């Protein structure tokens, strides 16, 4: 596999390809919560794009099989949500440097030559959303607390470190996964026990939930924010 800075232009091989509707979707398990179909549907209509964007509920065991079948069904690409982001990068033929650095992908584009190109926009989207919703947040002013150690957590750790957050407290239900991420991203990421997550909110300027807890069909996220400063930004 070779890292490249940007996707190469897609050259359609069949004359009729240009006339096909743009078909894309979001793969995940669960995926009912995703608002991507509404968002893309709006922009398709706004810009007069003939296409559709759909939810694809795919179990982890079926991910590779379904993914490889999608181009044959006319899909141009997919977004990927939990729990498939690590597998998405592993199955890609090419990827951006940021996806490689994060270790996960959330965007896959099917190229005309049959290859899969991977990117990760999670970190950029996360930081821009926080800045828009909490314009007074200053990354360098305080540590952050991140809950979870999956693909989304990888992108958020990468983005927070790039933004200048001095230290990140990382809590995950499976401690070994948190330890693996801390080793990957370096000493500014400090593992805290899942049972200590409420205490770890003390002094944090930003608290981020990247787990599936609280989603439809999942148990609620149980955490107390009593120790968190009144100025802390909390996001899911």
Please list the active-site residues: 85
Contacts of 209 (CB under 8 A, 6+ apart): 147, 148, 221, 235, 236
Pairing of strands 116-119, 94-95: parallel
C-alpha dihedral (101, 105, 108, 113), degrees to nearest 10: 40
Six-digit token string for 235: 């996001």
Sheet arrangement for strand 22-28: 2-3, 94-95, 116-119, 107-110, 75-80, 22-28, 51-57
Q: Are 108 and 84 in contact (CB under 8 A)?
A: no
Identify whether the C-beta of residue 202 lies closer than 8 Å to the C-beta of residue 15.
no
Q: How far is CA 205 from the centre of its chain?
A: 21
216 CB-near residues (< 8 Å, 6+ apart): 30, 32, 33
């Amino acid at each position: 596999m070779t890292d490249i800075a940007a996707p190469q232009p897609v050259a359609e091989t069949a004359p009729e390809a240009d006339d096909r509707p743009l078909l894309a979707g979001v793969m995940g398990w669960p995926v009912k919560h995703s608002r991507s179909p509404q968002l893309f549907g709006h922009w398709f209509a706004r810009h007069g794009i003939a296409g559709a964007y759909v939810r694809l509920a795919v179990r982890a065991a079926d991910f590779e099989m379904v993914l490889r079948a999608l181009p044959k069904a006319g899909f141009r690409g997919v977004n990927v949500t939990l729990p498939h982001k690590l597998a998405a990068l592993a199955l890609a033929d090419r990827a951006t440097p940021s996806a490689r650095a994060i270790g996960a992908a959330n965007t896959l584009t099917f190229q005309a030559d049959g290859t899969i190109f991977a990117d990760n926009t999670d970190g950029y989207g996360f930081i821009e959303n926080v800045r828009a919703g909490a314009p007074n947040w200053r990354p360098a002013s305080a540590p952050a607390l991140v809950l979870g150690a999956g693909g989304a957590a990888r992108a958020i750790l990468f983005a927070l470190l790039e933004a200048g957050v001095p230290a990140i407290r990382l809590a995950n239900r499976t401690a070994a996964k948190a330890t693996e991420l801390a080793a990957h991203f370096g000493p500014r990421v400090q593992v805290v026990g899942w049972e200590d997550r409420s205490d770890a909110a003390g002094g944090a300027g930003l608290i981020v939930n990247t787990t599936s807890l609280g989603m439809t069909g999942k148990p609620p996220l149980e955490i107390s924010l009593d120790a968190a400063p009144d100025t802390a930004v909390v996001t899911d």
